Structure 1
């Protein structure tokens, strides 16, 4: 893993960032009537669910939330089972995304490859009128021309550093830290 170098977001800062992103999503889309949040496995799903809660508090209406597994779409497949086949967990998108504004949600934006894979997966499922991107952390070092519409925090990093996002749903603590390799 590496040594923890700095905590860049604590529980309160994550909470504030998600509240701000929720407001920005509502503002940019003039409400949420044609919007659906799509969390990218794994932590993006928890962030999408938290955004949905905040949006409901603000707007009084619920926003649909789906989850996307992009394992098959990665161009750098690393997670393979013993027989060399990619491990697929399956996507679960409860609504037809065609003609909707699909807002992809992930924890960290880095090279852009995950997001590109997610867009490929999304377009195979339906044809959204628009795809937007919300991330908790943008750490730079893009390899593809992809940028987030909504960012919790920009954290400039070096290539030797790693961003660690822990969320209470999986890791029992809400925190974003920089690890030195």
Structure 2
């Protein structure tokens, strides 16, 4: 994703910038703890790191996947391969939004076949980005299973998609905007909430 700001139903699962007057919902320490917990959940659900691959959805899903890999290494001592999965050309709403820059899809050596692929993203909203990611994965290989880990689930699903691992459930209205900021892309870690009164929705 390009960011994690989200607004009206039908909009892509992320926007581009945090808005002035936004309220801080999660700070750096909260994000750190959420990712640590997700890393331990992944190890427990998979009974270890074997055959795990973490694929981040650009933009912010990629550094989140890399952080999860580091936390798994800290907890288990194993290196879990990471990669990135651009889903732009698999989206069903391209005609409704400005042209997107294609970002690289980078798979770990050995590909996806018979591996446990964990899709990693910043915010789960309508589910359309994840549906596009599942289509992209099916074109790239045949994993044994595909799971989903997200930092924030804000609800308002338009498709029957559920995350297996969630850092924080944040009930929101469809008019509000959730913005995830990460040090790697934004210079700071935070999750912000903006309402129409503080700048409008995406």
Q: Smaller-chain TM-score range?
A: over 0.9
- Deviation at 1:177? 0.8
Alignment of 1:93 with 2:107, yes or no, is: yes
Which one has more relative contact order, counting CA pairs under 8 Å at least 6 apart? 2
Aligned pairs (5 A) from 1:37-116:
37-77=54-94, 78-80=97-99, 87-95=101-109, 96-116=111-131
1:128-143 aligned at under 5 Å gives the runs: 128-143=143-158
**In 2, are the aligned partners of 1:35 and 1:64 still within 8 Å (CA)?**
yes
Provide the residue aligned with 2:13 in structure 1: none
Q: What is the deviation of 1:159?
A: 0.8
From 117, 122, 135, give the equivalent of 2:137.
122
- Report the CA distance between 1:91 and its aligned residue: 0.4
* Aligned residues of 2:58 and 2:103 also touching (Cα < 8 A): no
Question: How far apart, in 2, do the equivalents of 1:54 and 1:4 lie?
Answer: 33
Q: In structure 1, what is the equivalent of residue 162 of structure 2?
A: 147
Alignment RMSD: 1.1
Structure 1 match to 2:50? 33
Alpha carbons of structure 1 residues 5 and 89: separation in structure 2 relative to 1, 3 Å:
closer
Q: How many angstroms apart in 2 are the aligned matches of 1:91 and 1:47?
A: 16
The CA deviation at 1:94 is: 1.7
Distance 2:166 2:101 in 1: 29
Is 1:111–1:142's contact at 8 Å kept on the other side of the alignment?
yes
TM-score (norm 2): 0.84
In structure 2, C-alpha distance between the alignment counterparts of 1:171 and 1:61, rounded to whole Å: 29
> What is the DSSP-based 3-state SS (H/G/I as helix, E as strand, rest coil) of the residue aligned with 1:4?
coil
Higher relative strand content:
1
TM-score, normalising length: structure 1: 0.94
Matched, 1:14 2:31: yes
Q: Aligned partners of 2:34, 2:191: CA distance in 1, in Å?
A: 12
Structure 1 residue 32, shift from structure 2 partner: 1.1
Q: Specify the alignment match of 2:194 in structure 1.
A: 179
Instruction: Give the CA deviation at 1:113.
Output: 0.2
> May I ask how many residue pairs the two structures share in their alignment?
176
Secondary structure of the corresponding residue to residue 143 of structure 1: coil
Distance 1:104 1:11 in 2: 22
Segments of 5+ residues of structure 2 without an aligned counterpart are 1-17
